[in-house]
Chain A
Amino acid sequence: GENVEQHPSTLSVQEGDSAVIKCTYSDSASNYFPWYKQELGKRPQLIIDIRSNVGEKKDQRIAVTLNKTAKHFSLHITETQPEDSAVYFCAAYYSGAGSYQLTFGKGTKLSVIP
């Protein structure tokens, strides 16, 4: 099955700085990589995603990059704001051998210090 490693587990940045979260996956059959944001006490919500045929995707202050060869993808948040403080989860959608599954990393707790 797929295995997703996520680093760092905690990240503190000053407001206005950039934050980068990195994930690696194990199975080359994975073809879709979403990122979820979970604020304290709330449900995870999709913030950005990328498909395996795309190298980079941006949405305002958030961007995701994918390196298929190295099997890693990253979330970049620029000009961080206090409301960006949350736990971020990367995930890889594995599709193969009759099995279809979304595997999550263990999460990164981002704290943005005002």
Chain B
Amino acid sequence: KAGVTQTPRYLIKTRGQQVTLSCSPISGHRSVSWYQQTPGQGLQFLFEYFSETQRNKGNFPGRFSGRQFSNSRSEMNVSTLELGDSALYLCASSLGRRSGSYNEQFFGPGTRLTVL
């Protein structure tokens, strides 16, 4: 099976712009979660999508949003970029069979976003 893929791998934007990141999960996986990784802060949960619905949300401002398509591919959007948004954005997919029970998450390679 092909692994989780993310595009683009690298992105440079300026403050105030918006950006859209894409994640294609492993075939058959219906859940996609997004994380922000910064040095010293580890991986911080942004949100999770399952069957085109946002199932969970972390503590990030409304500038961060996402969606999931019928083929389980997911996009994440950040509007009005700030310098502090510079980070590695990782998505992870899982079977997502049932809320409440854990399904192993498989990570993509990430998108490195730099905001100037």
Partner-B contacts on A (CB < 8 A): 1, 6, 9, 31-32, 34, 36, 42-46, 49, 89, 93, 95, 99-107
Q: Is the interface of A mostly helix, strand, loop or mixed?
A: strand
- Given A34-B104, A43-B108, verify A100-B90 contact (CB < 8 Å): no
CB pair A105 B42 closer than 8 Å: yes
Residue of B nearest to A108 (CB): B42
* Contact indicator A103/B100 (Cβ below 8 Å): no
Q: How large is the interface on B (under 10, 10 to 19, 20 to 34, 35 or more residues)?
A: 20 to 34
11 contacts between A and B (CB under 8 A): A1-B59, A6-B42, A34-B104, A43-B4, A43-B108, A89-B43, A100-B48, A100-B55, A101-B56, A104-B42, A105-B42
Q: Does B41 contact A (CB under 8 A)?
A: yes
Residues of A within 8 A of B4 (CB): 43
- Give min CB distance, A95 to chain B, whole Å: 5
CB distance B56 to A43 under 8 Å?
Answer: no
* B81 CB to nearest A CB, Å: 24
CB distance from A6 to the nearest CB of B (A): 8
Report chain B residues within 8 Å CB of A9. 40
Our pick among A49, A95, A107 for the contact of B100 (Cβ within 8 Å) is A95
In the bound assembly, the distance between CA atoms of A49 and B94 in angstroms comes to 15
Contacts of A100 in B (CB 8 A): 48, 55-56, 99-100
Chain B residue nearest in CB terms to A87: B42
Q: Mark B71-109, 1 if CB is under 8 A from A, else 0.
A: 000000000000000000010000000011110110111
Per the bound structure, the CA–CA distance linking A32 and B111 in Å amounts to 27
A93: B residues at CB distance < 8 A: 102
Return the contact of B42 from the options A34, A45, A101, A106 (Cβ within 8 A): A106
- The answer to whether B99 touches A107 (Cβ under 8 A) is no
Q: Chain B's nearest CB lies how many Å from the CB of A98?
A: 9
Most buried by B among A6, A31, A101: A101
Q: How far is the CA of A36 from the CA of B90 in the complex (A)?
A: 14
Q: Is the CB of A101 within 8 A of B43?
A: no
Q: How far is the CA of A26 from the CA of B53 in the complex (A)?
A: 28
